[in-house]
Structure 1
Amino acid sequence: MPLRPTHPLAAAALLAVSATASAGAKEGIVPPTVMAIHDRLLTLDTHLDTPASLANEGWSIEEEHDVDADFTQVDLPRMKKGGLDGGFWAIYTPQGPLDSASLEKATNFAIMRGVVIREMIAADPANFVLATRAGDAARIAAEGKRIVYMSMENAYPLGDDVSLVQTFHDMGVRLIGFAHFANNQFADSATDPAGGHWGGLSPLGIQLLAEMNRLGIVPDASHSSDKTFDDLLRLSKAPIILSHSGCKAIYDHPRNIDDDRLRALAAKGGVIQINSFGSYLRAAAPNPERQKAMRALFASMREEGMTKAQRDTLIAQRREIDRLYPDTGRPSFDDFMKHLLHALEVVGPDHVGIGLDWDGGGGVAGMEDVARIPRITKALLDAGYKEEDIAKIWSGNILRVLAANEAMVMPAR
């Protein structure tokens, strides 16, 4: 996502998601033959920001929501409609100052966000099951339940003591991204306005990587700088991933990866999971009035937490912006597919997956919420990929990487 506020991430998703789902629904219809194939696949998305919605007063994962109505993109009914078996549910913490008080606050925030995920599972064990090992996914899907792996986007809340990662591992976290929009104590970000600070991983970041390798936690290089990516790839004892990224050859954005690094990632067994966040797919036409209005709305969302009344007000304000200054140049499903097909052309179906950034600003015209993901399966079939290749893309590759990281776990002493 571009800018995120300092309160739960669902508010930033409200900024990014466009209210154009009605037209996209018709475009996203797939024939029954394709849906039958899609339903046979084990489907995982490696970047679900939906835990931010879970934290909103009056919002339920059990109820079907409408992206046109409240801008959310994932809930249980829509997961069932779209045939999404589950994925990695993110603990996202906005980047803040590095003083001790701010770090303590971030740690507490991240722990509570993890608790929200665990509460979702505990409240509905008939539909949601925590997964902590690669082998759990197939079993849970076979039971007709949704798979909940846990991840951490931005290692900032780990503070300055890497042993804290054990706490999150015990909670269920199996994937951690080192940085977000700004440099932090562990690594350089791809998008810090000041540029790099550490020249890649910091000394503390190297310690964190070693601890993650010891625990079998997958290192995630999305949002990190190219030099951080290089350090992770060079130093990690197990394969790394990009949980929600794109291809620089299609759109030259700092959040995207170039082909040489993509090949290096594949050579070490890693995987790029292609995202659907519009700002990373292609350049947007200037729309200064809309951007000014969005900045003003963004400025109103800087308090921690959000009541239902506050969210209703923000939704109304967002709808008015859409009415006054329509987002006519929104990236499309075809723009997303250009990145996916390019990555497949460069490194093949053994090293590419799906991480759409749902509820974190992902979604494109023609694929506005999780109910529309069968369109990806259809597009891959149309491009000539076989069902066994698509099975790797949807889950096989990330599960292989997770298993490889598990294999690195040192025996208990």
Structure 2
Amino acid sequence: MHTRSILLAASAALALLAAGPANAAPKKAPADPATALQQRLLTLDTHLDTPASLALPGWSIMDAHTVAQDYTQVDLPRMKRGGLDGGFWAIYTPQGPLTPDATRKARDFAFLRAAAIREMVAAHPESFALASKAADAAAIKASGKRVVYLSIENAWPLGDDPTLLRSFYAMGVRISGFAHFRTNQFADSSTDKAKWDGLSPLGVQLLAEMNRLGVVPDLSHSSDRALDDALRLSKAPLVLTHSGCKAVFDHPRNIDDAHLKALAEAGGVIQINSVYVKGLKQRTERDAAMKALEEKYPEDRTLTADERDAMLAERHAIDTKYPEVRATFDDVMANLLHALKVAGVDHVGIGLDWDGGGGVTGLEDIADLPRITKALLAAGYTEADVAKIWSGNVLRVLAAAEAEAAKEQAGS
């Protein structure tokens, strides 16, 4: 609180005392300590799929939305309520054919998505600011704005030219992944058949380009063998921007304790997500209905306002008829606490995959973030620990990438 505000508050309190008990205002309940701490901390999420919302007809980041209304999870009003200061806004491209024509279209899509993120910032300079260095985040928070780093989920749009990453770096990209749900030209996916036994030769070149530029390599979605290659070859620490623990839920997207320890030993960080935190079995009818909905409204197609309204109505009808079986807040915390136990508090953060499939019962959107902070404090972690988890660890990794890039460029 500013000095002037403190003096005004003190003056008001003295005035109430002088007026006597009859005129005394009712006492205001103290703010929840976890919520107050959340607002003070620099809180970043490493995997925001919210840029996809920017393409929705009539949708604005400045307006308050609800999950029940339109299934979105991040907007400025909710960022303020939940204490989210920003993070890494993803340029996500769904994997398509490995053909020159398809890859060119993916490249153009990715550049337009990057431009849309920058346009969001340019349209609302009082609320958002682009970040390019690790040190920028704290300064942006101090200014009262929200932090916007860019990241790439799925490097497929780079085609066969890893140096194209330089153009995305110039647009603000500071974290980049390799593959998504399907194996591509850079790496094997954790959820597809292996073709390269890890990183491909082109993937090794892309990793070197990341080190040269100061882009943090992201191995979420990539196979364990790709992670092994990156751990062996990268000159800077790695990040898993949105992953979970196989010891809690044995899914290919999650990583085992041995890899957790190896990641930590190399200075890297795992950012715990809220997807694949528990084995869930949906009704066959729901799976079929959702598949039909996705085929009718594919994710790489821009919908008109009427189509968007129709899609939402059909999705609500499916949810009503065939309710989703969902994981819970406790399941997310089980992953987070396990990672902290195995990797240590210096090597764990949070990337919940908002607007990309994340969210569980009790952690519906970013307004619920203080629940995580409250649970961490209850588990015995200090405020300094919580600060590392919410942003300190990933910013340390970004700073290390910057240092490696400076070293390489000075020697070139």
- TM-score above 0.5, yes or no: yes
What amino acid maps onto 2:153 in structure 1? E
| 2:285 paired with 1:312 | no
Normalized against structure 1, the TM-score is what? Answer: 0.90
Shift of 1:311: 1.1
Shift of 1:309: 1.3
Question: Is the deviation greater in 387-396 or in 280-289?
Answer: 280-289
Q: Which runs of 4+ in 1 moved over 6 A?
A: none
Which residue of the partner structure matches residue 276 of structure 1? Answer: 274
Shift of 1:36: 1.5
Which residue of the partner structure matches residue 224 of structure 1? Answer: 222
What amino acid maps onto 1:143 in structure 2? S
Shift of 1:337: 0.3
Map 1:325-364 to 2 at 5 A. Answer: 325-327=322-324, 329-364=325-360
Mapped to 1, the partners of 2:92 and 2:320 lie a distance apart of 30
Mapped to 1, the partners of 2:33 and 2:383 lie a distance apart of 12
Mapped to 2, the partners of 1:226 and 1:287 lie a distance apart of 31
Which residue of the partner structure matches residue 235 of structure 2? Answer: 237
Mapped to 2, the partners of 1:406 and 1:223 lie a distance apart of 24
Shift of 1:163: 1.1
**Counterpart of 1:276 in 2: which secondary structure?**
coil
Pick 1 or 2: higher relative contact order, CA cutoff 8 A, min separation 6: 1
Shift of 1:39: 1.4
Map 1:6-17 to 2 at 5 A. Answer: none
Any idea what the Cα deviations from partners look like across 1:261-280, whole Å, max 9, x if unmatched? 00000000000000012xx1
Structure 1, unaligned runs of 5 or more:
1-29
Any idea what the Cα deviations from partners look like across 1:2-33, whole Å, max 9, x if unmatched? xxxxxxxxxxxxxxxxxxxxxxxxxxxx9622
| 2:54 paired with 1:57 | no
Map 1:84-99 to 2 at 5 A. Answer: 84-99=84-99
Any idea what the Cα deviations from partners look like across 1:229-273, whole Å, max 9, x if unmatched? 111111000000100000000000000000000000000000000
Which residue of the partner structure matches residue 200 of structure 2? Answer: 202
What amino acid maps onto 1:245 in structure 2? S
Which residue of the partner structure matches residue 255 of structure 2? Answer: 257
**Counterpart of 2:409 in 1: which secondary structure?**
coil
Mapped to 1, the partners of 2:302 and 2:52 lie a distance apart of 10
**Counterpart of 1:320 in 2: which secondary structure?**
helix
**Counterpart of 2:205 in 1: which secondary structure?**
helix
Any idea what the Cα deviations from partners look like across 1:39-87, whole Å, max 9, x if unmatched? 1110000000000000111100000001100000000000000000010
Map 1:173-212 to 2 at 5 A. Answer: 173-192=173-192, 195-212=193-210
Which residue of the partner structure matches residue 17 of structure 1? Answer: none
What amino acid maps onto 1:198 in structure 2? W
Any idea what the Cα deviations from partners look like across 1:357-409, whole Å, max 9, x if unmatched? 00001000001111111110000001010000000000000000000000011
- Contact 2:212-2:409 within 8 A present in 1 as well: no
| 2:382 paired with 1:386 | yes
Mapped to 2, the partners of 1:126 and 1:110 lie a distance apart of 26
Which residue of the partner structure matches residue 103 of structure 2? Answer: 103
**Counterpart of 1:46 in 2: which secondary structure?**
strand
Any idea what the Cα deviations from partners look like across 1:127-183, whole Å, max 9, x if unmatched? 100001000000000111000000000000001011111100011100001000000
Alignment size in residue pairs: 379
What amino acid maps onto 1:310 in structure 2? E
Shift of 1:411: 2.8
User: What RMSD, in angstroms, separates the aligned Cα atoms of the two structures?
Assistant: 1.1
Shift of 1:285: 2.7
Normalized against structure 2, the TM-score is what? Answer: 0.91
Mapped to 2, the partners of 1:33 and 1:347 lie a distance apart of 27
| 2:130 paired with 1:130 | yes
Mapped to 2, the partners of 1:152 and 1:318 lie a distance apart of 28
Structure 2, unaligned runs of 5 or more:
1-29
Identity over the aligned pairs, expressed in percent? 64
Mapped to 2, the partners of 1:60 and 1:225 lie a distance apart of 36
Which residue of the partner structure matches residue 248 of structure 1? Answer: 246
Mapped to 1, the partners of 2:322 and 2:172 lie a distance apart of 43
Map 1:17-28 to 2 at 5 A. Answer: none
Shift of 1:286: 4.1
